[in-house]
Structure 1
Amino acid sequence: MTQIIQSLDDIAGRYQVLYCDLWGCLHDGVTVFPAAAAALAKFRAGGGAVVLLTNSPRPAAQVAAQIRALGAPDGSYDLIVSSGDAAQHALAIGMVGRRVYHIGPARDLSFFADAKGVPFDVERVPLEEAEGIVCTGLFDDRTETPADYRATLLYGKTKGMKLLCANPDIMVDVGDQRIYCAGAIAQAYTEMGGESFYFGKPYPPIYALARRRLAEIGADDIPPEGILCLGDGLATDIAGAMGEDLDSLFIAGGLLAEETGTSPAGGPDPEKLEAVLRAAKLSPPLAMAYLR
């Protein structure tokens, strides 16, 4: 049975490291949630470490700049580990070819260069000249859906192109608007018979990278039972944690707020929460309305 808690204070001392999702937990794409930032800062002040584990296709430095602009204080986290970080190695070694067609907005172009801004030995070319596809998102995620990419994906599948997905998320909420992410494109490609590769949550590469980054700051002796994964995505945050045999805390007031009966006035509703988790065949040990 999933235990509903009111704040991180309820489990103080049980965990040494938090793997915390960004969208729906720390911010909504428009602004940072003050209570969430304060809760993370308090966890760190108590001796814990906070890793912002995100499916953003951008490298960590760009994610840091983005959330700083949204109002996230630097004191609320120790590390950022992104899906973009985890996927860049595959891009650099040519997993989907050296000539690739990029599906995604111009703001994601930092994915094609290393931390120093040096471009990888990979050329972005028109679809007809490509060996593979790299998807970091939709060209216009405010108006488009995966259906708009059907012809492109059918062409790629017919040509036997592999698709590298830099963000396995299907959807996120930006303010009060729900938008599709790269994971929705990759899902559509896989469903039509194409081959897709993923590196963010819930897949192992991003968790292995988080472990390596923790070791770099001297936190390499944390046992699995000392890590708690926070997130509002059942198929990404919670499934990923379970796959890594890590405890998880489901943030009900994110993507599934309506389904779990969660609002600023209260929640989640225990019966609705249990129904949602039962339908997803997932059992996080902990849940709370919003990160605080």
Structure 2
Amino acid sequence: MTQIIESLSEISDRYEALFVDLWGCVHNGITPFPGAVSALQAYRATGGKVVLVTNSPRARDRVEKQLAQIGVPADCWDAIATSGDSARAAMFRGVVGEKVYFIGQDGDRKIFDPIRIVENPVNVTPVPLEEAEGIVCAGPFDPTADPDVMRPDFLYAKQKGLKLLCANPDIVVDRGDHREWCAGALARLYSEMGGESLYFGKPHPPIYDLALRRLTALGKVVDSETILAIGDGILTDIAGAMGEDIDSLFISGGLSAAETKTSHQPDETILRDYLEREKSSPTYTIGHLR
């Protein structure tokens, strides 16, 4: 069963690298968490490497700019691996065709910007649904709207046999005090309706392969047992770590704060009941990264 810890420093000397989720762990979409920033800075000061592993549908350079804009200091991380980069690579390899129906907000259209890591990329073009060979989903058109608004489009797409590429497997995210739907909610709905959804972020293997490549590029080649994954998503961060057979630190005060009765720390009995219901076994648990 999970071990509840008070601070990252209690266990950090066991690991050479951290795979750290962003939203809910390092920031809330608006402002950074000072305790998390300090913990990562202290870890890096000992020689450890920090790879930010995020289900953001954006490219890593755009995530880097976003971090700077909200005040996350650059000295608390070493590299970034995004679901968006992993999904873009697959998209430009043609996994959902060349003519695609795009679902997302205007700012997410940068997913179609050229990518250098794919040799001989296909020419991907956004088109109306009626002309599409596949779907690229970076998120809802309106993140506050019920995902069910997409049912008519999804019924038509399923009948055409279109595959949906999901650039962010997260179901929801908390922006400050407000909860918003993510691309994963739409991909889940499409699958429930009988469509085929393709995933490239946590908990699926492609993003971990990308994170390992980012780590290797830092000159750090480590065994899986010396990597610790940190995140607040039971179905993404912790499930992904379990699938990759790496240790994990569950941040119970993020998405599952209500379910685990977390303020400073979770209620131990309620936490254990919650993890049993979710069939999840994080190596460690802490209320907030610090």
Taking the aligned partners of 2:199 and 2:56, their CA distance within structure 1 comes to 12
Taking the aligned partners of 2:91 and 2:43, their CA distance within structure 1 comes to 35
Query: In the alignment, which residue of structure 2 is the partner of 1:78?
Result: 78
Amino acid at match of 1:284: P
- Say whether the 8 Å CA contact 2:89–2:115 is kept in structure 1: no
Report the secondary structure of 1:290's partner residue: coil
Q: Select which of 267, 271, 274 maps to 1:273.
A: 271
Question: Quick check: 147-156 or 242-251, which moved more?
Answer: 147-156
Amino acid at match of 1:124: P
Taking the aligned partners of 2:246 and 2:34, their CA distance within structure 1 comes to 27
C-alpha displacement of 1:241:
0.2
Amino acid at match of 2:134: G
**Cα RMSD over matched residues?**
1.3
Query: In the alignment, which residue of structure 1 is the partner of 2:57?
Result: 57
Query: In the alignment, which residue of structure 2 is the partner of 1:179?
Result: 180
C-alpha displacement of 1:215:
1.2
Query: In the alignment, which residue of structure 1 is the partner of 2:207?
Result: 206
Mind listing any 5+ residue stretches in structure 2 that lack a counterpart? none
Query: In the alignment, which residue of structure 1 is the partner of 2:2?
Result: 2
- Say whether the 8 Å CA contact 1:21–1:231 is kept in structure 2: yes
How many matched pairs? 287
2:279 is aligned with 1:284: no
* 1:198-249 deviation line (CA, Å, top 9, x unaligned): 00000000001111111111112x0111000000000000000000000000
Taking the aligned partners of 1:148 and 1:176, their CA distance within structure 2 comes to 24
Query: In the alignment, which residue of structure 2 is the partner of 1:188?
Result: 189
C-alpha displacement of 1:12:
3.1
- Say whether the 8 Å CA contact 1:113–1:120 is kept in structure 2: no
Question: What TM-score, normalized to structure 2?
Answer: 0.97
Report the secondary structure of 1:164's partner residue: strand
Question: What TM-score, normalized to structure 1?
Answer: 0.96
* 1:22-65 deviation line (CA, Å, top 9, x unaligned): 01000111111111111111110111000000000001000111
Taking the aligned partners of 1:22 and 1:15, their CA distance within structure 2 comes to 19
C-alpha displacement of 1:120:
6.3
Taking the aligned partners of 1:102 and 1:37, their CA distance within structure 2 comes to 35
2:108 is aligned with 1:125: no
2:141 is aligned with 1:139: yes
Report the secondary structure of 1:134's partner residue: strand
Taking the aligned partners of 2:185 and 2:42, their CA distance within structure 1 comes to 35
Amino acid at match of 1:146: P
Taking the aligned partners of 2:122 and 2:23, their CA distance within structure 1 comes to 28
Amino acid at match of 1:52: L
Query: In the alignment, which residue of structure 1 is the partner of 2:216?
Result: 215
Runs of 4+ in 1 over 3 A off after TM superposition: none
Report the secondary structure of 2:206's partner residue: helix
Amino acid at match of 2:63: V
Taking the aligned partners of 1:232 and 1:53, their CA distance within structure 2 comes to 12
Aligned-pair identity (%): 56
Taking the aligned partners of 1:280 and 1:289, their CA distance within structure 2 comes to 18
Taking the aligned partners of 1:158 and 1:101, their CA distance within structure 2 comes to 15
- Say whether the 8 Å CA contact 2:155–2:193 is kept in structure 1: yes
Query: In the alignment, which residue of structure 2 is the partner of 1:238?
Result: 238
- Say whether the 8 Å CA contact 1:52–1:79 is kept in structure 2: yes
Amino acid at match of 1:280: E
Mind listing any 5+ residue stretches in structure 1 that lack a counterpart? none
- Say whether the 8 Å CA contact 1:100–1:125 is kept in structure 2: yes
- Say whether the 8 Å CA contact 2:98–2:122 is kept in structure 1: no
